[in-house]
Amino acid sequence: MMNQRPARSIAAPARAAGGHPLVASGQHPRRQFLRGAAGLGLGGGGLALLAGCTGTAPRPAPAAGRARIGVVSTGPGADMPEFDGLRRGLRELGYVDGQNIAIEYRFARGHQEMIPQFVSELVALKPDVIVAHGLQACLAAKDATTTIPIVFGTGNDPVALGFATSLARPGRNMTGLVHSPPGLNAKRLQLLKDAAPDIARVGVLLRSANGAHPLNLSEMQAGARALGVQVQPIEMHGGDQIEASFEAGGAAGAASGVGGERPDGLLALPDALFFEQRARITDLTIKGRLPAIFQEPEFAQGGGLLAYGGNMHENFRRAAAYVDKILKDARPADLPIEQPARFDFVINLKTAAALGLAIPKAVLEQATEVIR
């Protein structure tokens, strides 16, 4: 109990990580008092009993004290649809950041090498639960603690990654959502091929720094073979080098094929950095006259041709239910990992027209949203 549910009253004071968004967390008067009393007890040594009492006291309901939630993400910031969804879900369950919960965010913004440090910062704060978003964040959290409950959102197989022993009974301190089941990238490839049957070589936009992407790429190979298309990785190095990356990948312009290796379609793997730069990326695909498919609907809404995937806002809204259950003393080991049941397929016909592409009727039939 002590190990798994660290006493918040003797938690170290909240540390503001310089430069990173930190949601203001004004301390609750009662908890300040408890912290003071416990500190005195530990310092004086004579009042250890008092400290012991506060340490083993039953965890107050979320309304009584302020539950602390640490969030670590590979993404750019708290305005991502995932975290909008998380906050909305928490709000629906009666948790409001700054009132009865305090959320501590850490965003890597593409600097994946920072993630282990962020995770250990969060673990040092001894939060009631850590929400990990993105493969690197999930892996780092898995390595950093076996006691603090972790709610993850990942596009990879959590059993294969060792997050859980099974979907039904995770068995560890981790549970959460598979927002994009394995195989969905191959499915995207098929949808792209169905929409633009002529394509034979698809550039896959990825970042090697995103640990999930190499996995995604290998998962796609079998599907690509079955569909009769070749996949060609296009490594993107940084937010300011998108055009250069496209150039290097041979996807920048119709006439700049490098040795006939120019891709005639593009699939962007899910990545928070891509999401942040989606306007520039979709712009480049139109300029390069590349039919492209993405995960988040926002890409298609912003000019991308196709988007197919689970709704991330919705998925992370459901992650709030895990946070709620854990704050109410459920064990992550007992909370089954959920898979998405709803998928959005958005087709932007304006982009199709711009690309001179006639989307087949059968593909249009599948769309949940068509932008005309």
Partner 1 sequence: MSTRRGRLFGRYVAILTALVTGAVLMSALVQGYFAYWEHRTALLRIQQEQAAGAATQIRRLLLDTESQLRWAFPPPGAAGTATLDRRRADYFRLLRQVPAITEVAYLDAAGKEQLRLSRLALDTEGSGVDYSTRAPFLEAKAGGTYFGPVYYRDDSEPYMTIATGESEPGAGVTVAEVNLKFAWDVVYPIKIGQAGYVYVVDASGSLIAHPEISLVLQKTDLSHLPQVQAARSGPPRPGRAGGEAAGRDVRGRQVLSAYEVTEPPGWYVFVEQPLAEAFAPLYSSVLRTAALLVLGLGLSVVASLFLVRRMVTPIRALAAGVARMGAGALDQRIDVRTGDELEDLADEFNRMTDQLRTFTTDLQRSRERLVTAREEERRRVRRDLHDGLGPMLGSLTLKLDVAGDLVQENPAAARALLLDLKAQAQTAIADVRRLVYALRPPALDDLGLVAALRAELMQYELRGLRVTIDAPASLPPLPAAVEVAAYRIIQEALTNIVRHAGAQHCLSRLWLHDGAIHLEVSDDGSGISPLHEKGIGLDSMRERAEELGGSCVIESLPAGGTRVRATLPLPGLPDFPDGSTERDAPAGAGACAIDSRLVASTAAR
- Chain residues in the site for partner 1 (CB under 8 A): 166-169, 181, 183-184, 186-187, 190, 223, 226-227, 325, 334-339, 341-343, 361-363, 365-368
Beta strands in the chain (DSSP E): 67-73, 101-107, 129-133, 150-154, 174-178, 201-206, 230-235, 265-268, 292-294, 306-310, 343-348, 369-371
Q: Closest distance between partner 1 and the C-beta of residue 325, in Å?
A: 8
* Minimum CB distance to partner 1 smaller for 236 or for 347: 347
Q: Closest distance between partner 1 and the C-beta of residue 90, in Å?
A: 18
| Distance between CA atoms of residues 304 and 349, nearest Å | 10
* Minimum CB distance to partner 1 smaller for 173 or for 285: 173
Q: Closest distance between partner 1 and the C-beta of residue 24, in Å?
A: 33
| Distance between CA atoms of residues 67 and 101, nearest Å | 5
Q: Closest distance between partner 1 and the C-beta of residue 35, in Å?
A: 34
| Distance between CA atoms of residues 295 and 184, nearest Å | 9
Q: Closest distance between partner 1 and the C-beta of residue 222, in Å?
A: 9
* Minimum CB distance to partner 1 smaller for 8 or for 187: 187
Q: Closest distance between partner 1 and the C-beta of residue 352, in Å?
A: 17
Of the candidates 318, 316, 344, the one whose C-alpha atom is nearest the C-alpha of residue 84 is: 316
Relative to beta strand 129-133, strand 67-73 is parallel
152, 174 in Cβ contact below 8 A? yes
* Minimum CB distance to partner 1 smaller for 230 or for 339: 339
Strand partners, 71: 105, 131
266 three-state secondary structure: strand
* Minimum CB distance to partner 1 smaller for 80 or for 131: 131
What is the CB neighbour count within 10 angstroms for residue 36?
11
For 218-235, the three-class secondary structure string (H helix, E strand, C coil) is HHHHHHHHHHCCEEEEEE
Query: Rounded to the nearest 10 degrees, what angle do helices 29-44 and 48-56 cross at?
Result: 140
* Minimum CB distance to partner 1 smaller for 129 or for 335: 335
Q: Closest distance between partner 1 and the C-beta of residue 86, in Å?
A: 18
Q: Closest distance between partner 1 and the C-beta of residue 316, in Å?
A: 16
Q: Please report the sign of the dihedral spanned by the C-alpha atoms of residue 352, residue 353, residue 354, residue 357.
A: positive
DSSP 294-316: ESSHHHHHTT-SEEEEE-HHHHH
* Minimum CB distance to partner 1 smaller for 12 or for 362: 362
* Minimum CB distance to partner 1 smaller for 234 or for 347: 347
Task: Report the side by side order of strands in the sheet with 129-133.
Answer: 101-107, 67-73, 129-133, 150-154, 174-178
